[in-house]
Copies of this chain bind each other. A is one copy, B any other.
Amino acid sequence: MANTFGELFRVTTFGESHGGAVGVVIDGCPAGHKIDLEYIQKQLDRRRPGQSHLASPRGELDQVECLSGLVDGISLGTPITLIVRNQDAKKDHYSDLQDVYRPSHADYTTDAKYGVKAPSGGGRASARETIGRVAASAVAEIVLQQLIPGFKVVAYVDRVKDVQGRTDYGETLTRDKVEEHPLRCPDEATRDAMEKLIIHAKKTGDSVGGTIFCGISQCPVGLGEPVFDKLEADLAKGMMSLPASKGFEVGMGFASTYLYGSEHNDAFVNREGKIRTESNRSGGIQGGISNGEFIYMRVAFKPVATIFKEQQTVDREGKELVMKPKAGRHDPCVLPRAVPMVEAMALLCVMDHVLRQLPFAHLRGPHHV
């Protein structure tokens, strides 16, 4: 299931960055939901490169087209297929790199695995593959928001290199607030410093990384399976499957390891007749199952591998050489565009676990979802 994510809300992406189209088949979308293609397009636009001076100037239009699964905008319960044509496929753009393995890219490993080197710009390793994920996640988001009052997923740029923003927004933060600035960091106090770092990296032909914070509000209690398919395990897999991600943590994550258990445990309280936790260091998941509190996590993205400096490498024949810097069109920092990608994986993960929990919740009588 190399190109499929999910058990019941099954998302299969396809397409190379320089082939005919990229896209996704969604198998398992419930019937009868109004699916707004404009909303899907809006999410794709957030993912698209070249949205601001901070990013690559590529003019990809990424126009979504629906091939199946909807009639008059209503889901049929059959596979929904969404594609985006590759408008801007210029193979020759990269042609002199054809036989060179770019450092810390997927060129060498892809070649070693398949024996076929995809045209440069990346085959399936290209960030363009995430178009299918974001399109599918917009469908998931529409359905989830129809099913669960108050449900929302909001991610934002948390840290760029060593510039850390505020992180105490909790469930109050809205996506509109995040979208106010092209950096997708809602912290007005630090985002100028972040921006400077990115512009500096761009000018020097270098790149920077950082972390994305993602929160899920009003997630129903009872999602996630107690053993391998813990909710945080599936979230971890989803996030670590994004290009350039190198780390994941949920709740207090790595910081929790510096506390005593007595400092970390979340006391249970009865708040207006509901069982809640007083603190939320667990991050809304206990024993792999959602407990109804705010779910939050962080994902680490490395500085992207494409830089415009001389680099030591080898070609397909194993000959060592020095790659010369040259003009190109890549983002010095993937973080702002990674925000909708991180939201996408959170949405796909929750949607799948909602469907997985439904038959059992249904049979129990009092429904949790």
Contacts and interface: CB of A to CB of B under 8 A. Distances in A.
Given A68-B20, A229-B241, A247-B249, A258 B161 contact: yes
A232 B252 CA distance: 21
Given A104-B286, A248-B247, A241 B228 contact: yes
Interface stretch (A55-63, A177-185, A186-194, A359-367): A359-367
Contact of A311 (B230, B232, B246, B267): B267
Contact of A20 (B4, B65, B114, B251): B65
A97 interface: no
Contacts of A201: 260-261
Contacts of A140: none
Contacts of A208: 260-261
Contacts of A68: 14-16, 19-23
Interface in A222-254: 222, 224-230, 232-241, 243, 246-254
Interface string A199-226: 0010000111111000000000110111
Interface residues of A, number: 160
Which of A23, A74, A112: most chain B Cβ within 10 A? Answer: A112
A259 B201 CA distance: 11
Nearest to A208: B260
Can you tell how many copies of this chain the complex includes? 4
A329 to B, nearest CB: 16
A270 B230 CA distance: 42
A145 interface: no
Interface string A311-337: 111100011100000000000000000
A57 to B, nearest CB: 19
A192 B352 CA distance: 46
Contacts of A358: 358-359, 362-363
A113 interface: yes
Interface string A264-290: 111111100111011001110111111
B71 A19 contact: yes
Contacts of A35: none
Given A3-B27, A103-B268, A113-B357, 7 more contacts: A15-B81, A22-B68, A30-B364, A109-B290, A110-B226, A112-B292, A211-B254
26 contacts: A3-B79, A12-B25, A12-B27, A14-B67, A14-B78, A15-B67, A20-B66, A31-B114, A67-B83, A71-B116, A78-B118, A78-B123, A103-B265, A104-B286, A105-B287, A113-B222, A208-B260, A209-B256, A210-B257, A232-B246, A235-B240, A246-B257, A247-B254, A252-B302, A270-B318, A270-B319
Among all A-B residue pairs, the 9 with the closest Cβ atoms: A106-B287, A207-B261, A247-B249, A358-B359, A2-B225, A109-B289, A237-B237, A261-B303, A14-B79
